[in-house]
Every structure is written in C-alpha cells, then in structure tokens.
Structure 1
Amino acid sequence: MTRLPPPQTSAVPSPSSIFMSPTSSTPEAEEQKQHEQEDSGRRGDDDDDTFPLPKLRLHIQDATHPGASRFLAAVDASALLSRSVQTVLRLLYVSPRHHKAHDDGDGEADPQRQHPATTGRRPARPHYTPPPTRSVTLILEDMPGVAYTKGSDLDGDHKEIHFSLGYIEGVRRAPAAGPTTGGRGDVAGAYEIEGVLVHELVHCFQYNGRGGCPGGLVEGVADWVRLEARLGAPHWRRGAVPDRWDQGYERTAYFLDWLEGKFGRGTVRRMNEALRVREYKQSEFWTGLFGHDVDVLWKEYLRTLKKDGHD
C-alpha cells in the first residue's frame, strides 16, 4: 500500500467556498450552489486544460529484464509521463489558464464572483492549488508487488514512483493480432502501465488533510482518477458491495464516482481542496462539504447498489 507523506502546502485561502455554512445554507440549497459552481468545469471546458509540468525522469534499474523490454515496446515513455501528469492535474485542479480568466490580477478569487445573486451570472470556479511537486522519477525495478510512491529522502517535493518490472512482464496480453484485431501492438500492456502510473501519480499531487485522511480515502481518490480517465483495471466491478466506505482502491473509487454524480462534476476536486486547507476530521469534513456525515451518504450509496440489483 502506498505511503503518502503530508504534502507541504502553500498559503491557505479562506475555505468558505469549499465548506458549507452551518447557519446560512441548507444541504439542498448548497447542493444546488455546488452544481452551479461546477457548471463551468464540465466536459468541454476543462478537458483541454494544461498545467506546468515538473521535471519528469525515467530510471530503469535492469535494462535486460523482460519487463523493461515490454515497457519500452508498449509505450512512448516521454509522451506517457507527460500525458499522465496532465490527466491527474486536470481531474484534481483548475488550470492556471482558468485562474487568470477568473481573478482580478492579484492571484486570488474575487469572493463576490462566488455568489451569482450579487453578479447575475454563474460564479467562477474557486482556485485549487496543486502541491509544490518539483520532479517525478519513475523507477522500474525488479521488486515484489505492483508499485508504490514516496518522497525523496532529501526533499519531499521530489517524488519517486517505484514500478515492478515483474508485474509489467506478467500483465496478461491481449489476443494476438489477427484479421479482426489488427496490428495494434501491446494494447493490454500499455493500458495497464498507464493505469498504474496514473494511480501512483495521484499520490504525487493529492492532499491528505494534513496527514489525517484515512488511507482508504487516499487510495480511493487515486483509483477514482484512474476510473475517470477510463483506465480502470479489467477486474474492477462497479456492483461489488464493499464492507466499508474507506475500504480503499476501486471500492472507494466507485463511491466517490457516485458522489460525483450526485453532487456534480468537480466534487472530488472539492474534496481534495478541502484536504489541503484543513486537517481531516471526519464529521467536519463530510458535513462541511455535503451537509451529511459519510455514514449517511454511504447508506444511501448502498441502497442505490441494491436498487440496481447488486447484493
């Protein structure tokens, strides 16, 4: 299981645009406001967002390993790393291009623009700030397991993703090219490599509530990004009923995807921002964002699964 150290944070803005007001808003009114706030962030507006990239490095510990040969044959490493980082940042943050379009030149959002009643138009998206990750090094090595992410021993802003060559070698191959499949190369290998890489890259750029966030939620956000990027693993099943909301990985990812559908596109992005500005405390976190504790939302999610025929 990936260990994620608390990322260093930049200056903390007022969290008023993230959390619900306990005195002036009902859950229903706040839900409607959240839908309105994210309208400008729906597909078609942020799919072409671009972000500054950190330094990206590739280190292959054993170039003679069959997993190394498969990796190099299956993917264009330079394009893969750049594309995967952009995918993660686009799904968790608002790009500098949109920041510039929505601020008054001082780098901070105009709070008046967050309230359509005072402007007569839809509010701007709030500013979500990525952590100061300065480099990411992908290290392919012969090790057990699949992959893990850590900060450099000297500087936590420099991240290392360790990816198992043995795992890459063992990914089940797609059927051989033929009259119906065409010569598309190692599709299964490329797909799984990108999926795992995107998951691990989330750990380079996500927040964790000053170290208080449950590990299951940290891993769930990472798999939600993978799911949203259409890179879910073949063995994942949306209808599988988890034991707990924070069971982690794809089980929690599907719960987050349900929240994204219920409360509007950008919900997980808001959750990540809330984990930046405050220490995670379960009741405050969930009630502040959604007007309900996570246990209430979880029970509703389970009812939805059962209604859809999943036990």
Structure 2
Amino acid sequence: MIKGENPTFSYYIEQRLRHLTVPAIVRSLDDRLDDLSPEGLFVILVRYAKPTQIRWLKEVRARLAGVALLIDDDLRSVVVGPDGSLRYKANLLRLGVLPLVQLNALLSHVWTSTGALAEVLGGQRAEVQVLHPLPPALRPKDLIPSGRFPTLRIVYHATGIHRQEHAFLQPIIRRVLNADPALHFEVLADGSIANGWHNAGLPIGRYTVRKTMRWLEYATWGHNSGADIALNPLLNTKTNKVRADTKRVDVARLGAAGLYSRCDVFNRCAVPYESHLPNDPDAWVSEILRLAANEVELRRAKQASFKSLEKMIQLADVNFPF
C-alpha cells in the first residue's frame, strides 16, 4: 500500500484495511519499497507514484499478485482546467498524470471513486472498477447542534481547485451577512482566492479567512471547531461531474447542516431534511437565511448530515475488488 496523508486514503482505504484477513503494510509516498518481499504482494497505489516506486514495480512485477491504482479525480481535467494553482497542477502532472504512461503496463486493476469517473477512464489496459467511499462512522453525539445562538457559524471549506465555487459564493455571503447580523462566515483560502474574499465587500468583523491546512490537521481541527451551516456548491464543470460526495463526511465531522448543489454527485446519499439547491444565488441566500432563523429546522438538518453519512457507509462494500 502506497499512500500519503490525504483524504483519499482516509475515505477509501483506511476502513477497508480493518476488514482484511491478511496483513497489510502501509507506506507513504516518500518511503522506500525495495526492503519489501514482493512474493504474492498486492500493491495499491493511492492517486500517485514516484519514479523510484515505479522502477521497483517494474523490477518485481512478475512476482506480485497484482497492482491497483485508486483514482478519485479526473486528474487530466484538473491539470488543463481553470482552477488550481500552477504549483498544484505541476504536482498533479508529475505524480498523477505522467506516471500513468509507465503504470498502465503494470496495473492489474484501476479503482475509481465514481461510475462517472470510471467511464472517463475507460479503455485502460486494466479493468476499471468503482470503489465507493467508506468513511469512519461518527456517533450521533458527535453531531449535537453547536448551540451557538445567537451567533451562527457558516463555513465554506474547499481547496483552490474550487476557484469558481468561491466566486459563486462571494455575492451570496455578502447578501446573507447584510441580511442577518447574527451570522458569521468562515472560509479556507490562500493567495488570490483569499484576496478575493477580502475584496468581496463583506461586513468588517463578520467573516474569517483561514489558511488551508494539511489533511490530518484539517480533520482534527474540523472535528474540534464545529460549524452550523456548511456550504457545498458544485458548479457544472467536467471535473465536478465525476467527483465523489466525500464532502458529506467533512460536513458531518463539523456537526453542521449541509447545503448542496442539486446534482448527481450529491443525490447518491441524499436523505430527508437536507437542502439540495439549484445553482441560483437567490435560492442559496433564501435557504441559508431560512435555516439560520429556525433552530428546530437547523437541528433537524444537522441530524440529516449524520443520516447521510450512515447511508454512505451502508452503500459501500467493505472489501477491496481484488
């Protein structure tokens, strides 16, 4: 198993390892592999591979039981798309896209996070199979409403590859904060995206822009910090159409009510009392203000976040598709 500290490993691999009946060895992207005995070993690559690891795979491929690559994004579309920094795209190209030229001849399996992504990656030498997310379960008491009335915390937690969603939300948040003085908004953003929020005309003192964090730091911080309403817009782009619905896990970890774009991605684990909205700013403003004004409805929507996580776990197969 080659992994790094990233949500892909947490949401697709970690829980399934607990169900294995054979020993598993986990190595990070920077670890060596040449100290492993390859006899009968099944190797799972999580998104990326480095040249030294590919060289080792080539040397021992005949002695391995198999090699699988887990992909949870259309990496090529991200690289050529409008979102994401040049540095991020360069890393994707170096670690995720270019290695496929050599990996294709070595792979016995390709696992994707969604059926839509499997269709995009069809035609590979290896069989393409869907591996749905299997996140850890959260106890209901972890999702008790934060009780932060009269100040409610609205959050948007996304990376720089969602630049268009940041731009979509900025006028929405400006209207919401101006309409209800009891609301505070928090966003994770860096660089030009952070500057965009500071220049969005939001009321001074009513919003917080935090720097993005490494995955494990964010997961711990999110669990401890909590939130009331978590926004999850997803615009109609080629990259977004093949995404998985793992943002639901982040929403549940926060103990928040989730607002989602109405689309196939989020329909998969939809449950009653969730908010699924068209990508119309008026609809988002209206729904945010509705939940903020009604503690009973907000509490019900927060509990729905837990129910949707339960549904995600129920829909997932705990076994790897070897």
TM-score of the superposition, structure 2-length normalised? 0.25
Q: From the two aligned structures, give the one with the greater strand fraction.
A: 2
Higher RCO structure (Cα 8 Å, ≥6 apart): 1
